[in-house]
Amino acid sequence: MAIKEKLKKILVEELNLEDMTAEEIEDSTPLFGEGLGLDSLDAVELVVLIQKHFGIEIQDMEEGREAFESVETLAGFIDERLKG
């Protein structure tokens, strides 16, 4: 499964976004605020989920802030770390 699709599935299932499906999430939709409506507790949960599902630790919150803008940026971040 491509990283973006896997991420969308994780967002819906693990963050319990019961009112939407993975297919409904666009790559560029902001994860926080007006986009998917995630909040700071979701951000912490997401850090743990990225580590659990991709084996990637996010220790620098500045790095995470940029990565967590959208599914697209997060997938790019993960892809880069997996290659590096």
Binding site for another protein (CB under 8 A): 15-19, 37, 41, 44-45, 48, 51-52
Name the residue nearer to another protein (CB basis): 3 or 56.
56
Name the residue nearer to another protein (CB basis): 14 or 79.
14
Q: Taking Cα atoms as reference points, which of 2, 1, 7 lies closest to residue 74?
A: 7
Tokens of 13: 């299932």
* Least distance between another protein and beta carbon 19 (Å): 5
Q: Taking Cα atoms as reference points, which of 79, 76, 83 lies closest to residue 27?
A: 76
Name the residue nearer to another protein (CB basis): 32 or 72.
32
Q: Taking Cα atoms as reference points, which of 37, 38, 36, 31 lies closest to residue 67?
A: 31
* Least distance between another protein and beta carbon 67 (Å): 18
